[in-house]
Amino acid sequence: MDLIQTVIWALVALGVLVSFHEFGHFLVARLCGVKVLRFSVGFGRRLISRYDRHGTEFTISAIPLGGYVKMLDEREGPVASNELDQAFNRKSVWARMAIAAAGPAANFLLAIVFFWAVFLGGTAGPVPVVESVKQGSIAASAGLEPGQEIVAVDGEATPTWQALNWRLANRLGDSGTIEFSVRYPNSNLEYHMVADIDRWLAGKEVPDPLGEIGLQLWTPPASMNLYRVVEGSAAASAGLQSGDKIIATDNQEFSSWQSWTDYVRARAGVSMAVAVERSGETLVLPVTPAEVKLENGKRVGQIGVQPVSESWPEERIRVYHYGLAGAFVKGLQETWDKTAFTVNSLKKLLFGQLSTKNLSGPITIAKVAGTSAEAGWQSFLSLLALLSISLGVLNLLPIPVLDGGHLLYYGIEAIKGSPVSERVQVVGLQVGMALVLCIMGLALYNDILRL
Residue 115 lies in a domain: no
Question: 204 in a domain, yes or no?
Answer: yes
Same domain, 285 and 198: no
**Half-sphere exposure at residue 67, Cβ-oriented, CA atoms within 13 angstroms:** 25
From the candidates 22, 149, 212, 334, give the one annotated as an active-site residue: 22
- Number of H helices and E strands in the chain, helices first, is 12, 17
What is the C-alpha separation between 88 and 92, in angstroms, rounded? Answer: 9
Domain co-membership, 235 together with 191: no
In a domain, 105, yes or no: no
Contacts of 416 (CB under 8 A, 6+ apart): none
Q: Which residue has the higher pLDDT, 353 or 86?
A: 86
**Pair 233, 209 in one domain:** no
Q: Total structural domains in the chain?
A: 2
Q: Is the pTM of this model over 0.85?
A: no
pLDDT tens-digit profile of 39-62?
A: 998 888 888 999 999 889 999 988
269 and 316 part of one domain:
no
How would residue 415 be classed by pLDDT, with cut points 50, 70 and 90?
very high
Mean pLDDT calculated for residue range 363-388: 84
Low-confidence winner among 269-278, 397-406, 412-421, 439-448 (lowest mean pLDDT): 439-448
Asked which of 256, 286, 310 is the last residue of a domain, the reply is: 310
Q: Are residues 208 and 274 in the same domain?
A: no
Phi and psi, residue 156, nearest 5°: -100, 130
Q: Residues for the chain: how many in total? A: 451
Confidence of residue 70 (pLDDT cuts 50, 70, 90): very high
**pLDDT for residue 65:** 74
Flag whether 15 is in a domain. Answer: no
Flag whether 383 is in a domain. Answer: no
Domain with residue 158: its CATH number is 2.30.42.10
Identify the DSSP state of 353: S
Is residue 443 a contact partner of residue 359, using CB atoms and an 8 Å limit?
yes
Instruction: For residues 213 and 238, state if they share a domain.
Output: no
Q: Which residues pair with 225 in a beta bridge?
A: 245
- Residue 439 forms part of a structural domain: no
User: Are residue 213 and residue 246 in the same domain, yes or no?
Assistant: no
Shared domain check, 274 and 139: no
pLDDT at position 1: 43
Last residue within a domain, chosen from 269, 299, 320: 320
Q: What range does the domain containing 262 cover?
A: 222-310
Last residue of a domain, one of 268, 291, 310: 310
Residue 349 belongs to some domain of the structure? no
Does one domain contain both 231 and 303? yes
Tell me what percent of the residues of the chain surpass a pLDDT of 90.
Answer: 58
**Are 180 and 316 in the same domain?**
yes
Does residue 353 form part of some domain?
no
157 plus 210 within the same structural domain: yes
Shared domain for 267 and 280, answered yes or no, is yes
Quick check: is 22 catalytic?
yes
pLDDT of residue 204: 75
Residue 295 binned pLDDT confidence (cut-offs 50, 70, 90):
low
Over the stretch 25-37, which tens digit does the pLDDT of each residue have? 999 999 999 999 9
